[in-house]
């Protein structure tokens, strides 16, 4: 049986060894690269989400700084502030039935 010539070549084994080392044993192996790629995608999604939130908040701040009735509405709804002669009643609805 004749052995192919590339199997007799020491450079072939060196290249195979190098590829195996880089794929599995090196600090930048293929598994860690895949994990880092997934983490990068998740961080980019979060970045887009927070950029959208910042834009929404800027619009709210602009509306609140120009309209005092909107500011009063926000204070009443979110922070439960009231005028001097008012009473506030909170109605909490149970969603579980």
Domain boundaries, the chain: 7-79
Give the C-alpha separation, 35 to 29, whole Å. Answer: 10
36 CB-near residues (< 8 Å, 6+ apart):
none
* 36-84 tens-digit pLDDT: 999 999 999 999 999 999 999 999 889 888 888 888 888 888 887 888 8
Q: Please report the sign of the dihedral spanned by the C-alpha atoms of residue 53, residue 55, residue 59, residue 61.
A: positive
Task: Report whether pLDDT(97) > 70.
Answer: no
This model's pTM is above 0.85: no
- Residue 76 CB-density burial (10 A; 0-12 exposed, 13-18 middle, 19+ buried): middle
* 1-15 tens-digit pLDDT: 788 887 888 898 999
* 3-class DSSP assignment, residue 88: coil
């Amino acid at each position: 049986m004749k052995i192919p010539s590339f199997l007799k070549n020491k450079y072939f084994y060196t290249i195979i060894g190098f590829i195996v080392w880089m794929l599995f044993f090196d600090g930048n192996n293929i598994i860690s690269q895949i994990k880092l790629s997934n983490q990068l995608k998740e961080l980019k999604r979060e970045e887009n989400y927070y950029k959208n939130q910042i834009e929404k908040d800027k619009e709210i701040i602009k509306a609140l700084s120009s309209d005092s009735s909107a500011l009063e509405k926000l204070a009443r709804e979110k922070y439960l502030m009231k005028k001097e002669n008012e009473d506030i009643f909170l109605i909490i609805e149970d969603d579980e039935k």
